[in-house]
Structure 1
């Protein structure tokens, strides 16, 4: 009988342990679906775009031991705000004044307060922006140099150190859902939140903000256009490099009659610098606006082989050179500064597992090209 009572007591303790013990976690429960698709990274960047369902960062499979090819310049080893590397090229060449959109309105027209962006923005040698996926991580200081001007987070959550470090923050209205719009409008009441409002994220993609040009134009007029009166410049919805993007933009500009669009936001993923150059040039010729390339990487989403390290460094060397020598490129944000690129070839990582820049990261933030 005593043995039976002991067994009952032990069983009760086990039940209590299960009932009050820590709840189990499941990384898949965060809702981050990763798909292999031609039309860019799909939900690859869900981690960085939706902070309400943020995945825990995993250590990078690429380390800072990846060595740049002989085509790159030697990068300084200190990049924090306290010891920024001096510019390797004079920042004197200003961007083109060509900024009239197909809406018939000039990007520099009157009607808003003075643009608060850094005086270095868009100048030669100061055209790097940070596509930042690490929240308030202290490693943000390791990526600020005189060459790195802007920073954005696929939303309105500005990193706590951004202002002190000298970043221009670019808030984004990611999509059309009520919670995104509410968060955007609430954040935009904050004085001096940022300098440029970024439009919707890849609305030509079903896996992203996914809306037709007419809906996007209506939402732009309601929620983005009024921000000019707060002193913001406005960047168009960011097209993926799917071929339907140019027609989508043409339809958006037509539907957004009377809107003021200062810059064209674009994304691009492929494995050829020549293709990137052609893509950007075609958009500029079509729309006639300065370009913010807010995502790009030497990444194959078409089922072919991925670039090796040497090819990626060569690609980045050519890209940085082209950006600096092209007046209508205002800034470019490589994808991405995070510990895990969530489906993109990790040889493109700009951040090592310890938070510091990889060799590719040093190359980018110091604008080191030959």
Structure 2
């Protein structure tokens, strides 16, 4: 039996700009560069102390990666080094270990990058061993118990500064059919028991999906030519207490007019501007923030990773009592196994065209789910 592993990877070749990533691989300006290498499992010196060799199985597709691909010195993470695998969270299987905390056959979640196989020091990365009894398939560690679920959790329970079961409140969620939004709508609708949750999504199918997530959820299609009229009809005479926004730009400009005085905006993301910053500008600042005395709270979920064990324990309670429904955790899984691995960058860009409903995942290895 061969002890040679042939690994595929996409390296970060040039830092991305505010525009779309450059996928013209025939030019030196391409954002990514395809590469292959070999690992010899019989080599006693293959792994340094603390290192593990991991086979990637599923990779997470997240808008935040656009920032990881950039050289922005003001980012919440250090710039990713050029010439190394493009960063991505994922789940994989340990094939070889020189780390006492992990053994061959363990399943882990870590920053694996756009790779089929990778070697890294597990003590220096956000690496965690996975308990397979918690899920019915490995991909659920990126959807049900992934960072997007943690993001929704802290947005609702921490950064909103709300107390569950404070009734007669009105919430608004943009990006409601996505991985974060669909969890957030469930938590708000079922545990906070508001008067209504307005859920903004794109297209009739996604509107129907978000309305299935809990009681008093009203879906609004932002792609509709009557969006503003539909928004006004859904809101009625009410005002919004908290707006959980993942989009910014025109969606934020419009909705901010309908918040209560002293209301709050929890800014989870700004996907409208990830490829063009001019589309995420907040133009309605004076009329909304100043006149209504609104508060805006931005956050990055990695600040709360230290509390992940406690959060997951509460999430398990929410699943048991019916607040969260695993059947509502939609996964859009795309195939990058075998020869399809070369499509990984193109598949990732689907985030910005509404390809996914729920969590967007790329599979790079067969035979695990």
> Which TM-score applies when normalising by structure 1?
0.30
Higher strand share: 2
Q: RCO (CA 8 Å, sep 6+): is it higher in 1 or 2? A: 1
- Structure with higher Rg: it is 1
Q: What is the TM-score of this pair, normalised by structure 2?
A: 0.30
